[in-house]
């Protein structure tokens, strides 16, 4: 849940920029520094929110460790940067160190989408295998 929340937080800035017709969609939130900051926010807010939701649905193990929250938050924000850098020309993930984006175009968008689908499927299988007795 924290992972998913981190994805939403990452795209608040691009959503605002698109709504205001800004030609640069991916700004500071889509840098390594921005991902680190958003990861901290996702971890701090995602743990209690996720625990509340799990208690509301009466899930047996509603407690989420800070380690799990951190792993979900930072895996979410940094993978978001990685995948967006491959497909968006306005990405500059290394700011302020560099304005370059060597990741742009290293894989086709189709390959990127397939990779995301495969990784998501693996994650879903692992989730169901590890939680089926909970």
Structural domain range at position 78: 2-104
Q: Does 111 map to a domain? A: no
**Rounded alpha-carbon distances, angstroms, from residue 22 to 18, 40, 90:** 6, 27, 11
Quick one: pLDDT at residue 134? 56
Q: Identify the CA nearest to 34 among candidates 85, 93, 89, 88.
A: 93
Q: Does 96 map to a domain? A: yes
Quick one: pLDDT at residue 50? 94
Q: What is the number of structural domains in the chain?
A: 1
Checking if the pLDDT of 126 tops 80, the result is: yes
pLDDT (tens digit, 9 = 90+) per residue, 85-97?
A: 999 999 999 999 9
Indicate the pTM of the whole model. Answer: 0.88
pLDDT (tens digit, 9 = 90+) per residue, 21-65?
A: 999 999 999 999 999 999 999 999 999 999 999 999 888 788 999
Checking if the pLDDT of 13 tops 80, the result is: yes
């Amino acid at each position: 849940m924290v992972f998913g929340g981190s994805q939403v937080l990452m795209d608040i800035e691009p959503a605002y920029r698109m709504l205001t017709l800004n030609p640069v969609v991916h700004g500071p939130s889509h840098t390594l520094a921005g991902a680190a900051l958003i990861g901290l926010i996702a971890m701090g807010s995602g743990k209690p929110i996720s625990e509340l939701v799990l208690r509301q649905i009466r899930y047996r193990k509603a407690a989420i460790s800070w380690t799990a929250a951190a792993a979900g938050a930072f895996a979410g924000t940094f993978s978001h940067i990685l995948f967006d850098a491959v497909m968006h020309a306005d990405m500059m993930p290394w700011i302020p160190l560099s304005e370059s984006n060597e990741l742009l175009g290293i894989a086709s968008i189709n390959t990127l989408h397939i990779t995301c689908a495969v990784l998501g499927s693996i994650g879903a299988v692992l989730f169901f295998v590890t939680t089926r007795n909970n």
